[in-house]
Amino acid sequence: MAEGLFVAFEGGDGAGKSTQARALAATLEARGLEVVLTREPGGTPAAEAIREVVLTPAYSGLDPRAEALLYAASRAEHVASLVLPALQRGAVVITDRYIDSSIAYQGVGRGLGPDVVGEINLWATRSLLPDLTVLLDVEAGAGLARLSTEPDRLESEPEEFHATVVTAFRALAAGDPDRYLVLAAHGDVDAISTSVLARVDELLADRA
């Protein structure tokens, strides 16, 4: 059984997950905790190589099942070689995206089915779920407008695709309210960080 605390940030593109994940990591590190800040797809050299394949716009017609398996493969490697060992050491692991992204983007967005994508990913991760998933909730159009870099292969999908993804995230959170913290992503950045930290502190206190 893992000893550490596993926190995932999820949300549509442009929700500000990376900013919030960094802020939480910095606060906990300043307290002297061991923090592993990571991301998906990626997080280890092999998983980052898979990230290149799955996100490059060069493979615009990539088969949806291949896409789902690449994300799951990246996640399997990430969990086995980075996340689980860190949790076993007692670290706080903060990941920018996890299984819910596959359920929302591949299961619902691509129409593969949320259940089958969920099952593949539970197998890939030996059923490791976050202790807390923070959903930064943003309307699809607003999120896409906030992107500052060239769109990757998924970001290039039409707005309807992203709207479906946002709805899927909300349904996942509604189905398991104890494990999720849903925050409106358009709010003040510091206020969002404070809310996240309050929930993380409750979980850390439960473990102390």
Residue numbers of the site for ligand TYD (CB under 6 A)?
A: 13, 39-41, 55, 71, 96-97, 101-102, 105-106, 152, 154-155
Residue at token pair 């807390």? 132
Please report which residue ranges of the chain form alpha helices under DSSP H. Answer: 17-30, 45-55, 64-78, 84-89, 99-102, 114-124, 140-146, 159-175, 189-207
Nearer to ligand TYD, 57 or 187 (CB): 57
- Quote the least distance from Cβ 87 to ligand TYD, whole Å: 19
- Quote the least distance from Cβ 206 to ligand TYD, whole Å: 28
Nearer to ligand TYD, 33 or 142 (CB): 142
Q: Quick count: other Cβ atoms within 10 Å of Cβ 104?
A: 28
- Quote the least distance from Cβ 208 to ligand TYD, whole Å: 31
Nearer to ligand TYD, 88 or 156 (CB): 156
Nearer to ligand TYD, 77 or 96 (CB): 96
Q: Are 2 and 83 in contact (CB under 8 A)?
A: no
Structure-token pair, residue 29: 């590190």
Nearer to ligand TYD, 189 or 198 (CB): 189
Q: Are 74 and 42 in contact (CB under 8 A)?
A: yes
Beta bridge partners of 136: 11, 183
- Quote the least distance from Cβ 172 to ligand TYD, whole Å: 13
- Quote the least distance from Cβ 205 to ligand TYD, whole Å: 30
Structure-token pair, residue 196: 């996240």
